[in-house]
Structures are given as C-alpha cells and as structure tokens.
Amino acid sequence: MPSPRYLTKSRFQLAVECPTKLFYGGKSEYENSMASNDLMALLAEGGYQVGALAKLRYPAGIEITAAGNQEAFVATAEYLKQDKVVLFEPAIIFGDFLIRIDILVKDGNRFDLIEVKAKSYNSLAPEIESARGKISSSMLPYIQDAAFQAWVLRQAYPDADIKTWLMMPDKAKQAPIDGINQMFKIVHENARTRIDLQPADGVDLEALAAIVLAKVNIDQYVNTVITNPISFPGGLMSIDEAAASWAAAYKHDEKIPPKLGGQCGNCQFVSAPSSGRKSGRDECWRKVLNGNHDTVLDIWNFRGKQKLIDKAVYRISDVQRDDIGQFEDGQNEMGLSSRQRQWLQVNGLAGEHATEGYYFDHSLFRREMENWAYPLHMIDFETSTVALPFYKGMRPYEPVAFQFSHHTIAHDGRVRHQGEFISVDPGRFPNYEFVRKLKEELETDQGSVFMWSPHENTILTKILNQLREEMNPPADRDALIIFIESVITGGKRAMIDLCDLACRGFYHPDTKGSNSIKKVLPATLKISPYLKNTYQKPVYGAPVGIHSKNFASDKGFVWLDQSRPDADPYKRLREIAGAALADAGSGEDDSSIADGGAALTAYARLQFEDLPDDVRQRIKAALLRYCELDTMAMVMIVEAWRELAISGTGN
C-alpha cells in the first residue's frame, strides 16, 4: 500500500511559488536545480548547524527520531499527553496535512511553535515589515512557512493557545568565543545528515545559543497570513481554500494547470537537452511556444516580462521595439545601453554584425584598452559566508575569503599563472592573510587589475570594514587598509570589471543574453582564430609554454580538443581537472570542483567534516585547479578581445 501523500510545509511553500510545481516536485524524472545545486546544499548544511545550536537553548528537549511519519506522529501524540514537554521535530498530522515542527514547547495549554531558519536577522534593525507596513518580500516566505504550521497545529489542537516564533542568526551579535562553527561537525551516514556536537571545554552552550540566535515573536504576521488571502501565480485564496486545494491535488498526483508569468524565469524545474531529465517549465510553456524555445523569459535584465506575458507575447520573436522601451539608435561612447542590448538580443544582428555572427564594439574596446597598464592582472576569489561565526568578534554571515588565483598577461602577450592563495584548515581565519598575500603579488607593479563581476570588490570592501573594526588588529593593518582602498571602487588602481565590459561591448547569440564567464568564454572561442590556434596545442603547463602552478606537465595540457570544436570549454576544463586528480579507488571525493557552488561545498566539507588526510588533500588540489582555471578563462577572453580590437576597423 503506497504511503499517504501529505501536504507538508515545504510543499505548501512550493505551491505558493507556483501550484503546478507540486506535480514536478519529488519526481526523479524531472530536473530540479534546487535539489542538486551545490550552493543550496551548502546553505542547507548551514541550516543543520543553526538547527543544532537552536536546540541547545532547550537542554531538556526530546528528539522525535522515528523514521516513518505515522510512527513519529504516534510518538509525538504520546509525549504531548504530558503537561510540560519540549520536542524537536514532532510530527503533527491533521487530515491531508503533515508538519514536522523544528521546536515545540508545551506548557499546559500553551504551545510555542518555533521555526528555526538559517536566514540572517538584525535585532537592532529588524526588517520584517516593509516601509509600507506590509510583510517584507524577503521575510514573507518564512512567515508563510510558520503560518502554515500554526494553521495545522490550531486544527489539531483547537483549544490550545499557540504562539509562533522564528529563531535566526542575529547579525547584530558578535561571537563571544572562537570556533563556534567547528563545534558542529557534519556527519553523513546512511543517506542522512546529522550534527556531531564537539563543544570546547567550559563553553555554556545554552547561553551561547541565546547570544547568537535571535528568538522573534511573529504572531501578528502569522495572523495576517492566516486571515488574509494568499497571493500565488493564478490568483488569491484564503489559507483554508489554498491548503485544501493543493493538498487534494498532491494527494491524487494531479497537475494544477499552470499560470504562465514572469515567475517562470526562476523555475527550478528546467533541464538542459543533454540532462536526460524532463523539464517542467517546458511542459508548462509547450502550448504557447509551438516548438520555439526562445521565450521572453530569456531577455537579459528585462523587467517587463510579466507585461509581455499578460499581452500573450510569449516568444522572443514576437517582441516589438516599443515593448523594450525608448532608446536611441547608433553607437555610444560608453557602449550598449541595457535597452540597446535587449533589443539586439530580440531583433538579432544586423549589417556587418549579422555577417560576422556576433557584436563587438571595436571602438569601445580600443578606448578601454588604451587605459590599461601592463602587466594585466586577472584575479578570482573563492569565499564563504556561513550562518555561525568562525571566530570571536565575528557576526553571522560575515565573509571568509579562503582562496584566490592570479594570472598575468605581459605587454608582449606572455601569460603566467603568477600566484595563488588557499587557506582551508579548520578554524583558521584567513581574511587578513588573504589580503596580505594579494597585496604582495599586486604591489610589484602598477598594472591594471581585473575581476569578472563585482564580487571581488565587494569582498575586499567587507574585509576593509573588518580591519577597521578589529579590536586586536594585525601589525600591518594600516598598510592592508591602504592597499585595499587603492584597488576597490574609487581607488587609484580600482579593479576593472570585465563582465561590465562584456555587457557594453560584446554579444553573441549563443550566450542567450547572459554575461556569465561560463557563457562568454565558449562564445568567444567560436569567433577567435587566435584562441583556437593557441589552445589546441599542448602549451598550458608545458616547460616552454604557459606557466601553471597546478597543471605543470612535460607534455602540457590541450584546452581545446580539435575533435570537439563545439564542446563547452568549461566542461573540458572540468575534465582536465578530473584527469589531474585521477587515482585508482579515489571515489567521489576526487571529483573536480566544477563551479562556485561546488567550491563552497568543498570548503564547507573541509571545515565541518572529519575527513581523512588524503581526502582533504584531494579536495584542496581540486580547489586549486578550479580557481586557476577560472582566471585562465579571463585571460583567454581578454586575449581574444585584444586581437579583435587591434584587427577590427571599427563599427
């Protein structure tokens, strides 16, 4: 007999996003990026640790450990016969609804329902309400989650006095001790994740939890959600109506007809043709596309998608110039405006650009490059922001910069992997050492420094603030501050954002409007004879080729496989990284670190798991290779742009 299909709090939230998603959720044949995304997995692990810390506020709490829903429900009901009890993960079933409450405190007829979230909260400047007095959009999903649980609990125990709370890491509070994060080791066993508590001697865990975590009463907001209609794609319904409708659809595995809208752009049920999984979004849009998969959802940085869909304009080919908005034709010294770029994506390439198959603003790039000072420095950071602070004095979600890679391009075109930094030892605060090493590598000359997107600027600015607020500053604090101020926005040597330059001066149809380096590089490779000629040879890491710290080889590496001219270069880079890590019997721990989310997950594992030394070394090696490859991708793009700018005759 199949298990009952209950509407849980996570499924309720999924339905609020889009009721049709209930049908796709939990089915292995459908792609689900939220289930497989490494960054989401990292955030989930942060949630495990916050949940474990929250339970320490209630030392007498009892964990409901029964594996099955019915067994957990029976155990919960038995405990709730007591006059006073604190339960962790109790199961409440009412009709077609099931909730597992993070913490439930029963005192006579009063219930405290406590929902624990890894979301940051500032007790000195709460942001639950917007400026207009409504629940803020950033907090609404968390309030709705708690409201659904309170609604089910009220039906199961109609005579009880129920109070609802959120417990979240408080950014207004500083960690009173070092190593809070490392006290909560993550253990994966039997397809489950648990926390192994390893407290330092003399630590009052209950007091620690009370300091780091804010407990916020949200009764007024919960009542607002319960007494007012809930808005979702497709309409408005009371929580009674919505929950009943969604529970019935989920129980019978019926697909609720989709309501197409701008929210579809964020759908997690989207698959690539090569994934082997179904795409839920494609199924929803199939009737209006007639086989054309280029939708208005693909228009880059466009806020008018909902208006187009409301007018039944679904295909990008049906978009008119007036739909984009007013903009001037012709060249601009600053490059493409946002609307010009959007129209270029919609209307396609024209004139010489149509012949070439891409758009490249030769004049813009030549002007920009005239201001570049050699050698050119390409830098890329890997960072982590976690819920529980690593060190005394830090607040939740302060950034930790644990790695960078650094490539240079000399004026004569010579490329070199100039340097790198990595600090992944558990409990070690790397930020100041990170900046110290970066300063050492960049201060030898006054060459231009490049990043891809503002991430590096943001991180250095936050480390600057950490240095200024540091109670026990390093001896070289002033020197580090002066260095950071010189390379962030407004500094004499402010970093140049290559992603911004791509937005203003380069467009290829294959990017689908995206300016991600993982989209721009493959497109650039298609149009650059220089890159094809250079990197189809075994030059990378070779003794007389391009210097590499992590890919040194007598034979050198071939980055572009001639037999696969249309292959995704980043896939090839992952293959190179995997080949470099190959080791008989090495298992899944040797998989290459393929993207930023995976790098964060790898760092989390090194911090929070008890791993064998050989596994640690393999993960560290993978991180080094990944970060090096990312800055080398920047090198390749700049090389191609420089050749195009020099050889072009202008637009």
pLDDT at position 40: 61
Poorest-confidence range of 82-86, 211-215, 617-621? 617-621
Nearest to 391 by CA among 204, 209, 197, 180: 180
pLDDT at position 589: 40
Instruction: Taking the CA atoms of 310, 314, 316 and 318 in sequence, report the sign of the dihedral they define.
Output: negative
pLDDT, mean of residues 115-138: 92
* Pairwise pLDDT comparison (7 vs 185), residue with the higher score: 7
Identify the burial level of 383 via C-beta atoms within 10 angstroms of its C-beta, where 0-12 means exposed, 13-18 middle and 19 or more buried. Answer: buried
pLDDT, mean of residues 490-513: 95
Q: How far apart are the first and last CA of the chain?
A: 69
| DSSP H helical ranges for 359-454 | 362-370, 431-442
pLDDT, mean of residues 125-143: 92
pLDDT at position 590: 37
CA distances from 501 to 11, 148, 204 (A): 42, 46, 52
H/E stretch holding 295 = none
Mean pLDDT of the chain: 89
- The DSSP letter of residue 264 is G
Cis amide linkage into residue 375, ω under 30° from 0:
yes
* pLDDT(39) > 70: no
CA distances from 256 to 7, 30, 34, 44, 230 (A): 14, 16, 21, 28, 17
Q: What is the pTM of this model?
A: 0.90
pLDDT, mean of residues 151-156: 98
* pLDDT(1) > 80: no
Q: Let me know: does 522 contact 568? Beta carbons within 8 Å.
A: yes
Nearest to 319 by CA among 349, 291, 344, 296: 296
* pLDDT(129) > 60: yes
Residue 618's φ and ψ, nearest 5 degrees, are -70, -40
* pLDDT(597) > 80: no
Q: Let me know: does 424 contact 623? Beta carbons within 8 Å.
A: yes
* pLDDT(23) > 70: yes
Q: Look up residue 194 and give its two tokens.
A: 């648990």
pLDDT at position 225: 97
* pLDDT(38) > 60: no
pLDDT at position 41: 65
Poorest-confidence range of 392-401, 497-506, 595-604, 622-631? 595-604
* pLDDT(237) > 70: yes
CA distances from 503 to 147, 303, 305, 339 (A): 42, 17, 20, 11
Alpha-carbon dihedral 516, 522, 528, 534, rounded to 10 degrees:
110
pLDDT tens digits for 248-276? 999 999 999 999 999 999 999 998 877 78
pLDDT category of residue 229 using cuts at 50, 70 and 90: very high
**Could you tell me which residues are beta bridge partners of residue 121?**
170
Q: Let me know: does 96 contact 145? Beta carbons within 8 Å.
A: no
pLDDT tens digits for 361-407? 999 999 999 999 999 999 999 998 888 887 888 899 999 999 999 99
| DSSP H helical ranges for 18-139 | 21-24, 33-36, 38-55, 69-79
Residue positions counted in the chain: 651
pLDDT at position 157: 97
pLDDT, mean of residues 146-168: 97
* pLDDT(333) > 90: no
* pLDDT(469) > 70: yes
Nearest to 227 by CA among 245, 239, 215, 209: 239
d(CA 380, CA 388): 25
pLDDT category of residue 299 using cuts at 50, 70 and 90: very high
| Coil, strand or helix at 404 | strand
| Residue 191 Rama label (left phi>0; alpha psi -120 to 50; beta) | left
pLDDT at position 585: 31
pLDDT, mean of residues 112-130: 93
pLDDT at position 201: 83
* pLDDT(592) > 60: no
d(CA 46, CA 43): 5
By percentage, how much of the chain surpasses pLDDT 90?
67
| Coil, strand or helix at 502 | helix
d(CA 188, CA 615): 15
Identify the burial level of 218 via C-beta atoms within 10 angstroms of its C-beta, where 0-12 means exposed, 13-18 middle and 19 or more buried. Answer: buried
pLDDT category of residue 584 using cuts at 50, 70 and 90: very low
Residue 63's φ and ψ, nearest 5 degrees, are -85, 130
- Structural domains in the chain? 10-175+201-250 (3.90.320), 262-348 (no CATH), 368-497 (3.30.420), 510-647 (no CATH)
* pLDDT(447) > 70: yes
pLDDT category of residue 42 using cuts at 50, 70 and 90: low
Q: Look up residue 610 and give its two tokens.
A: 């008890």
pLDDT, mean of residues 435-452: 97
pLDDT at position 155: 97
